[in-house]
């Protein structure tokens, strides 16, 4: 068994693989032609962030069965391409939680006391005590955007030095927040009240440029901003202008929109901006954790057939997987859709299985629902292993129900969530035993393909609404791939669903919302 390690990996992980009988080839920073040569006969590949596991590289791997990412981020792995080839993709999402939170706290301390600038000054032979007046963190308000694993640990660290923590996380249950000692607020309030803001969300269309000139204008004068999550969450050009004007007193980045960051990036010229080269997970302990973790997962996969930490398949037997896979896809898409349609912190999830699907193992399907629910809202990747743990940590109650009656369908999966004292339902089935369809959204009967960019418009059933929406989209060159309308009752409320192959810009949504016949507008992205 050949395992190719194409990025640096702690020796503990390599030793574990060798002890299991694998031939381990460790070669980091290989030229492209050498990498393609080595991958040809490799059974397993272990990478960190350096190697780009592209569709082209996957195609060249004739024997490859598993790709292991020592760490959480999978931006450098073409997971869909691997899935199409039947290659398992694994990661170790929890191995660097503490390290990244500690790095964020370190950046906050360094920024508030201007430690890097003072160090540079002293090393230049100066003694400029009056120049480096700092800011005390005790009793300051830390605003955390996204309270996942890293955000939760950062909360503990900040509270430990006497900071008050407020947070924005629309998917965090109120009782969970209360136990953490965190005040949950809306994003505008967080921007208005926080002395220091730290972002801990995934990079999605909704979070891209979340902090920009407009939002900065609502913040306290002299606010400080930290990004140790993903480049692109903060608009770098807008931040540069705010730092220049001192509207933002200081900022600290571990991540950039383009990495490695270019020397001519304007942020690097500012004295009130500090940064590190994406080293949030770079500690001895974290690297050992992820190395040992991914090595153990790969050994288990080859010796026991167990796919722990897999992001594209659950840990099920090879015999069952072909029958289960279409339902897994359906379940995950139902979960993704629910999260993007409902509002408020997730409190309870009930998954009801009806018809033929009850003859299969439903435990992986429930996990797939949780993975779908949590993926859009978590900074760290959610997979089939950690999804139940993450749900439990966030105080989400999970219930399964079986029923023999699937109504007009052979099989039916209903996902009901309770969030913000409201209940939301989506249901789906398989057409021709393989094609997922959403057939119910709350009180509306629908027939929707769960893929691409989707626009959900609740409106009053009146003539001209569909025409108005179509004109707005057409005027903005947005192609409609699919469209359907579902009625509650004639003259009552209606649900208009539009599918497109491109995202719906905010200004387009605002134009549609401005119509008196429109009750609500929501979008969902389903890959």
**Residue positions annotated with a catalytic role:** 230, 259, 278
Contacts of residue 506, defined as CB under 8 A and 6 or more positions apart, other chains included, come to none
Element (H, E) at 143: strand 141-145
29: left (phi over 0), alpha (psi -120 to 50) or beta: left
Q: Report the candidate in 436, 410, 400 with the shortest Cα–Cα distance to residue 355.
A: 410
CB 18 within 8 A of CB 27: no
Q: Is 442 helix (H, G, I), strand (E, B) or coil?
A: coil
Q: Which residues of 408-422 are buried (b: 16+ CB within 10 A; e: fewer)?
A: ebebbbbbbbbbbee
Contacts of residue 101, defined as CB under 8 A and 6 or more positions apart, other chains included, come to 150, 151, 153, 154, 157
CB 44 within 8 A of CB 65: yes
Q: Report the candidate in 57, 67, 111 with the shortest Cα–Cα distance to residue 89.
A: 67
Half-sphere exposure at residue 469, Cβ-oriented, CA atoms within 13 angstroms: 26
| φ, ψ (nearest 5 deg) of residue 366 | -65, -40
């Amino acid at each position: 068994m050949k395992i190719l390690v194409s990025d640096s990996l702690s020796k503990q992980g390599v030793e574990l693989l060798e002890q299991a009988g694998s031939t381990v080839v460790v070669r980091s920073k290989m030229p492209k032609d050498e990498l393609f040569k080595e991958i040809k006969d490799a059974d397993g590949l272990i990478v960190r962030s350096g190697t780009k596991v592209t569709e082209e590289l996957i195609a060249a791997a004739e024997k490859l069965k598993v790709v292991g990412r020592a760490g959480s981020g999978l931006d450098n792995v073409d997971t869909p391409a691997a899935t199409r080839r039947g290659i398992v993709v694994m990661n170790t999402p929890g191995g660097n939680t503490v390290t990244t939170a500690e790095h964020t706290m370190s950046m906050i301390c360094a920024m508030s006391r201007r430690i890097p600038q003072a160090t540079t000054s002293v090393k230049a032979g100066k003694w400029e005590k009056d120049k480096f007046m700092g800011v005390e963190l005790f009793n300051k308000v830390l605003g955390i955007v996204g309270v996942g694993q890293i955000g939760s640990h950062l909360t503990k660290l900040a509270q430990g030095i006497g900071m008050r923590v407020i947070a924005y996380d629309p998917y965090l249950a109120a009782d969970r927040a209360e136990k953490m000692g965190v005040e949950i607020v809306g994003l505008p309030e967080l921007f208005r009240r926080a002395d220091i803001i730290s972002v801990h969300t995934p990079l999605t269309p909704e979070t891209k440029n979340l902090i920009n000139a407009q939002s900065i204008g609502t913040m306290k004068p002299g606010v400080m901003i930290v990004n140790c999550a993903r480049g692109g969450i903060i608009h770098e050009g807008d931040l540069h202008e705010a730092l220049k004007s001192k509207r933002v007193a200081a900022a600290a980045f571990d991540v950039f929109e383009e990495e490695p960051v270019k020397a001519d990036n304007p942020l690097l010229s500012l004295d009130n901006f500090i940064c590190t080269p994406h080293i949030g997970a770079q500690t001895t302990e974290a690297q050992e954790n992820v190395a040992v973790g991914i090595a153990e997962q790969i050994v288990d996969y080859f010796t026991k057939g167990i796919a722990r930490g897999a992001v594209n398949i659950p840990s099920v037997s090879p015999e069952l997987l072909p029958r289960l896979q279409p339902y897994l896809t359906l379940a995950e898409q139902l979960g993704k859709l629910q999260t993007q349609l409902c509002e408020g912190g997730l409190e309870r999830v009930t998954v009801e299985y009806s018809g033929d699907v009850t003859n299969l193992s439903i435990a992986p399907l429930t996990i797939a629902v949780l993975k779908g629910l949590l993926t859009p809202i978590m900074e760290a990747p959610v997979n089939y292993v950690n999804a139940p743990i993450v749900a439990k940590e966030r105080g989400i109650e999970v219930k399964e129900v079986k029923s023999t009656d699937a109504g007009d369908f052979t099989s039916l999966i209903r996902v009901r969530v309770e969030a913000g004292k409201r209940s939301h339902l989506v249901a789906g089935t398989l057409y021709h035993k393989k094609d997922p369809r959403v057939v119910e959204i709350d009180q509306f009967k629908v027939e929707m393909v769960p893929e691409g960019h989707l626009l959900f418009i609740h409106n009053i059933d009146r003539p001209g609404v569909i025409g108005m929406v179509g004109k707005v989209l057409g005027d903005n060159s947005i192609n409609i791939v699919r469209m359907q309308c579902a009625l509650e009752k004639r003259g009552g409320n209606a649900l208009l669903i539009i599918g497109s192959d491109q995202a719906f810009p905010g200004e387009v949504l605002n134009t549609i919302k401005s119509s008196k016949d429109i009750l609500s507008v929501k979008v969902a992205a389903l890959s």
